Amino acid sequence: MSKQRKAVILFFAALLIALVGEVIYLSIVERTTVKDPLTPYVMDISKRLDVAEQAIIDLRLLVEQNGTDTVAARIQDLQGRIAELAQNNPSSEIKDLQSRLNEISQKQENRQKEPSQDDLMTAAVEKVAPAVVSIVITKDVPQLEIVYVNPFGDDPFFQDVQVRVPQYRQKGVTQQKIGAGTGFLVTEDGSILTNRHVVGDESASYTVLLSDGSQKKATVLYKDTEYDLAVIKIEGKGYAKAIVGKSASIKLGQTVIAIGNALGEYGNSVSTGIISGLNRTVQANDGGKLVQLKGVLQTDAAINPGNSGGPLLDLNGNVVGVNVATVLGSNNISFAIPSDIVTVLTKRFFGN
């Protein structure tokens, strides 16, 4: 065999080996890079989990209005899909998806357990309403009658004159309602906190109307000289009492609830609003004289005449203020004495 022929044979042999190697290499690559048929489903479910998890975090309701039901339905659908995949291919990817879905489902359950603002409001009112009382102010007023008398009196010269003029003559006295306010029980034995101007008339009598409809005569025990606050007392024990909270942590825009005897006619009326201002200084009418109120809270919760002395509550049902004044003719501009000042008074009076 010639050298030239040997060279040709070696060339083709080398080429054949190279082609076989390339085929083997491509075969190996193709086998290693072939996609798992479950991969698209895993990726799709993973994306769905991302969406559901973000919906829980952001409290967005995807596209439907009833987001809680929507998210729950999607989670249930994904649980079914993952369960089917797990039966055919219990891979680590599927187990990871199941773990993530369980976490999302737990977040959803926790979110559903969180109370809404309406729930918090109604719970706060239910907690404090039994301790809120209406205060009726009564006073002995002259009872008058009309009599017709001789305008010339006892002058004998005019005794036969047939002219008579009407005059008012007192026939006695009668007890009459002259005002109303609000208060709230701060001890179980009948101590009630209210405004000083509600019980400022020394000659008046005060009757407390409890939330159960019963009535009790009240005695004024204390009227503070610095703040528009007072303490009155009724007989009895075992009364529901309000919890006085801390007003130092109150923030602008915080939701508050006012309870009181609106207009002196509608006991335990409830209104809601926000804290509109802090540390206000205003002038208020106290029995015909102007007094300055310092450091008070401003709120847009509806506070009407008769609400004075009632509690201003936070969403936990704690008293954060005592309603004291409103700007008549305004669009819900009212004021409350902060509860931290109330705490100073109660320590001063009760000694605790």
Q: Residues 231-274: pLDDT tens digits?
A: 999 999 999 999 999 999 999 999 999 998 877 677 778 999 99
Give residue 302's pLDDT: 86
| 15 vs 286 pLDDT, higher one | 286
25 vs 18: CA distance, rounded Å: 10
pTM for the full predicted model:
0.64
| 290 vs 79 pLDDT, higher one | 290
Domain at 255-350, CATH from 2.40.10.10, 2.40.50.100, 2.30.33.40, 1.10.1370.30: 2.40.10.10
Give residue 178's pLDDT: 82
Position 201 pLDDT exceeds 70: yes
Give residue 63's pLDDT: 36
- In tens, the pLDDT along 214-231 reads 999 999 999 988 889 999
Give residue 208's pLDDT: 94
Position 76 pLDDT exceeds 70: no
Give residue 267's pLDDT: 73
Q: Are 133 and 240 in contact (CB under 8 A)?
A: no
Position 60 pLDDT exceeds 50: no
State the average pLDDT over residues 100-110.
67
Give residue 70's pLDDT: 60
Are 130-233 and 255-350 the same fold in CATH? yes
Position 299 pLDDT exceeds 80: yes
Strand 230-233 and strand 255-262: the pairing is unpaired
Position 105 pLDDT exceeds 50: yes
Residue 271 to residues 8, 45, 219, 257, Cα–Cα distance (Å): 104, 48, 29, 6
Give residue 62's pLDDT: 39
Evaluate whether the domain defined by 130-233 bears CATH number 2.40.10.10.
Answer: yes
Q: Show me where the domains of the chain are located.
A: 39-113, 130-233, 255-350
Residues labelled as active-site residues: 197, 228, 308
329 vs 326: CA distance, rounded Å: 9
State the average pLDDT over residues 28-53.
55
Give residue 23's pLDDT: 47
| 321 vs 10 pLDDT, higher one | 321
Q: How many CB atoms lie within 10 A of CB 235?
A: 10
Identify the weakest region by mean pLDDT among 39-43, 86-90, 124-128, 150-154. 39-43
Give residue 261's pLDDT: 85
Give residue 246's pLDDT: 93
Give residue 268's pLDDT: 79
Give residue 143's pLDDT: 65
Average pLDDT, the chain: 76
Question: Which residue, among 182, 313, 309, 189, has the nearest Cα to 240 in the 3D structure?
Answer: 189
Position 197 pLDDT exceeds 70: yes
Residue tagged 């919906």 (tokens):
55
Cβ neighbours of residue 175 closer than 8 Å, sequence gap 6 or more: 138, 139, 140, 141, 205
With cut-offs at 50, 70 and 90, classify the pLDDT of residue 287. Answer: low
State the average pLDDT over residues 296-319.
92
| 330 vs 236 pLDDT, higher one | 236
